[in-house]
Chains A and B, each alone.
Chain A
Amino acid sequence: MMKRRDAISQIALLLGGAFTAPTLMAMDVRKGNTSIVAADFSLTDAQRQIVSAVAEHIIPRTSTPGAIDAGVPAFIEMMLKDCYKKPEHNSFLKGVSDLAKANFLAQPAAGQVAMLTLLEANTKDLMKSYSQKRIKVGDNVDKDTLEGANGVPFWRLMKELTLLGYYTSEKGIQASFIYEPVPGKFELITDMKPTQKSFVY
């Protein structure tokens, strides 16, 4: 028997990755939906420091630019303001505040990594309970709905927006991929080496 899942995960696949619920829920906007257009969202300088540090842990500067070099922290703040709504604003701020309470910035690098590793593990459990509300529709069909009230967890938002901000930035693309905006042809490669960089168009 095949597994039956909701189209949401399929949409995510089509978008080329597992994007979080707000993006997907936003695609389900209905007329007459009274959802509030972006409540104001901004971070304090202290919060910004934490966001920058976490983003740099996800994509650190190595021989190539890191998240901070590519302007990712400011991008994250802007995206939260423009493209996400209250539940995500709240969950994001709670995540930042939790790290502040745990004295995240005062930890040595290894301690910070350990905290984030734990956060990632916890978030996975949270995401499972978060995204899998299954309801019965008709006789045979299950439907998964996404519960938006709690907001996508902080770590998931950080990771998604850091990767999006970095791998679509000029610095990130030039440093990471072979950028070919006009390939001019379609050719099959049959002897790809493990060192092959992705083509980005």
Chain B
Amino acid sequence: MNLNIDAIKGQTFDAIVIGSGISGGWAAKELTEKGLKVAVLERGREIKHIEGYETAMKNPWEFDHRGRPTNMAAEEYWAGMRTGYTPAEEHRYLFENDKQNPYIEKKGGFDWIRAYHTGGKSLLWGRQTYRWNREDFLANEKEGVGTPWPIGYDDLAPWYSYVEKFAGISGQAEGLDVLPDSDFLPAMQMTAPEVHFKNAVNKKLGRPVTVGRVAHLTKPGKQHTDLGRSSCNYRNKCMRGCPYGAYFSSLSATLPAAMRTGRLTMIHNAIAAEIIYDESTQKAKGVRVIDQNTMESKEYFAKIIFVNAGAIGSTSILMNSKSNRYQNGLGNDSDQLGRNIMDHHLGAGASATIEGFEKDYMFGNRPNGLYIPRFQNWGKDKRSYSRGFGYQGGASREGWGRGVGADGFGAEFKESLTHPGQWTVGFGGFGEILPNPENRFVLGAQKDKWGLPILEFSASFGQNELQMREDMMNEAATMLEAAGFKNINAYNKQDTHIGLGIHEMGTARMGTSVKNSIVNKHNQVHEVKNVFMTDGAVMASASCVNPSLTYMAMTARAADFAVNELKKRNL
């Protein structure tokens, strides 16, 4: 008996955080720093910061296929192959094998790219970091689309600032309403043709162009160096893991901060199967997990639970948490669970070649590009579709790869490819996807190897996205023309799905009432108030800017609220 009580004690914490990715890391940091004993349940294997980045310092010739995925990898990573880069040899070890982790596409397609290990996709993200603007929070209500946000820019602004200072965001303040400035570290430089482009687009089209805002340390402060983080080394091999801790990740920043409080317990290989609901208290009392290796089932208990398993992961855990009270999934009185999958649609834009600038070159591999904020449906601009898109891209000089399509071979050809080639430039749009309740996933009848339901997706673009994509292509070409660039090649990739942006959002949206949504304005499941969701799942709309910063700010805000509520004995 004593043994049993000890075991339960060992499995009881003040708070449980499910997932150690970008939002789970923040939940762990904030809750431990506020004095709570926290267990982070990570479904994947343990990866240690620095030593775990097994390919980080490898030379190009140390990759057998020089980066190319093999036929075998292409079959195993079938969803990843659609991105064109995740199964590359240098960082494939950080992505999940799609055959081993199956999902089903019922209607349309959905690209579900997963990373099950310490830090999750925070090790792999694009690191582009933007605040939402005021209108982003108002658009649903103004247009009668989806459900109104119960929070606005002012609710998040102080938390944006708070997380930015800790994460370290490099960027240029521009004073734009459409793209509010962050608390910035020094901006990275633009190349000469990029400066030319910026000036031309600004002068001829009246559109601002700024350097990408990225979660890289360009000038670390004490709060960064205290955690062992240092400056960016401009290798641009970020996706292999950064041994310098120069870009923000759970491994480089939030988990070490949580660990130094002495109140963090990391539990790996623990797949959260369900949240255990206590019918008598009407609260959650813990989480049942399955060890991914031993299949052993185990329960952990806590006063509050933060669900940060990534949009699809978090929602599927709620769906799988069935009780007498919630037979259709925890907190799912609104039947909104699993609906309104969003992402940012991409694969439309333009590229070109640049004449001149022969004497301009650069030393170092900038892990960043340029950003063109949304200009559609903003101010006096009106389009045939609603919402809008931003562009990401930039200019660089060609390398030896230009030889593949060029004429010639032999000694002279060989020598010519050792020098930088001409400048080329390209921009692709990141467009907002509207919430649509029919874009959804459900628990399927088939089970995976852990006995958990395999997810079934139905998702496709609507007319608004398709119209926007035409514009994404055309406007990119217009801007390259305005800058006088040549050989403009405009494209609009047709065979693309929701999910390709790896910005999956929605499926447990935030809203004003239990009737229309899963969580309230404090990120609490409406009527199960000790369960918090603060990742992409809660997004009621998508904006067009990269989402991670908003998850960070929301998580810090919700953790602050949760701890205050605990102190007031409201939870």
Contact = CB atoms under 8 A, between A and B. Distances in A.
Given A168-B66, A183-B364, A201-B235, A27 B81 contact: yes
Interface in B312-334: none
A190 B81 contact: no
B404 A37 contact: no
A184 B351 contact: no
B115 to A, nearest CB: 19
A3 B488 CA distance: 7
A118 interface: no
Given A6-B493, A27-B84, A187-B362, A163 B189 contact: no
B256 interface: no
B495 interface: yes
Given A62-B411, A79-B65, A186-B188, A137 B404 contact: no
Interface stretch (A28-36, A44-52, A90-98, A100-108): A28-36
B362 A141 contact: no
Interface in B419-437: 419-420, 424, 426, 428
B399 A17 contact: yes
B538 interface: no
B105 interface: yes
A28 B234 contact: no
Contacts of A78: 64-65
Contact of B71 (A15, A37, A196, A199): A37
A167 interface: yes
Given A38-B72, A170-B59, A201-B236, A183 B363 contact: yes
Contact of A23 (B60, B68, B105): B68
B355 interface: no
Contacts, number: 237
B235 A10 contact: no
Contacts of B405: 17-18
A77 interface: no
A197 interface: yes
Interface in B331-366: 347-351, 358-366
Interface of B: 57, 59-61, 64-72, 74-75, 78-79, 81-84, 98, 105, 188-189, 191-192, 233-237, 347-351, 358-366, 397-405, 407-411, 413-415, 417-420, 424, 426, 428, 466, 470, 473-474, 477, 481, 488-495
30 contacts: A2-B477, A3-B488, A5-B490, A6-B491, A7-B493, A9-B489, A10-B426, A18-B404, A28-B81, A29-B81, A30-B78, A38-B71, A82-B72, A83-B65, A85-B71, A116-B409, A140-B470, A143-B495, A163-B404, A168-B67, A170-B59, A170-B61, A181-B57, A183-B234, A184-B234, A186-B362, A186-B365, A188-B362, A194-B358, A194-B419
A192 B74 CA distance: 41
A5 B68 CA distance: 25
A17 B414 contact: no
A49 B533 CA distance: 63
Given A9-B491, A31-B105, A183-B234, A26 B401 contact: no
B470 to A, nearest CB: 7
Contacts of B494: 6-7, 137, 141, 143
B426 A29 contact: no
B404 A199 contact: no
A33 B105 CA distance: 13
A198 B60 contact: no
A23 B67 CA distance: 11
Contact of B409 (A11, A120, A124, A140): A120
B240 to A, nearest CB: 12
Contacts of A177: 418
Interface of A: 2-7, 9-11, 13-20, 23, 26-31, 33, 35, 37-38, 57-60, 62, 78-79, 82-85, 113, 116, 120, 124, 137-138, 140-141, 143, 159-160, 163-165, 167-170, 173, 176-177, 180-192, 194-201
A138 B467 CA distance: 12
A86 B59 CA distance: 31
Nearest to B190: A188
A60 B411 contact: yes
Contact of B414 (A60, A84, A190, A192): A60
A200 B60 CA distance: 10
B298 to A, nearest CB: 32
B5 to A, nearest CB: 48
Given A57-B410, A62-B411, 16 more contacts: A4-B490, A17-B403, A26-B74, A28-B82, A31-B98, A60-B410, A62-B414, A83-B68, A116-B409, A141-B470, A165-B66, A170-B61, A176-B417, A186-B234, A189-B362, A201-B365
B362 A5 contact: no
Contacts of A116: 409
A78 B63 CA distance: 13
Contacts of B81: 26-29
Contacts of A184: 233-234, 364
B69 A26 contact: yes
A196 B361 CA distance: 10
A62 B492 CA distance: 44
Contacts of B82: 27-29
Contacts of B237: 201
Nearest to B415: A62
A7 B69 CA distance: 20
B360 A192 contact: yes
B198 to A, nearest CB: 14
Given A2-B474, A4-B490, A37-B72, A10 B351 contact: yes
Given A60-B414, A164-B66, A2 B403 contact: no
Contact of B364 (A124, A137, A187): A187
B75 A59 contact: no
A98 to B, nearest CB: 17
Contacts of B399: 16-17, 198, 200
A82 B72 CA distance: 8
Given A2-B477, A182-B235, A183-B364, A160 B404 contact: yes
User: Across chains A and B, which 3 residue pairs bring their CB atoms closest together, nearest first?
Assistant: A17-B401, A18-B405, A7-B493
Contacts of B61: 168-170, 173
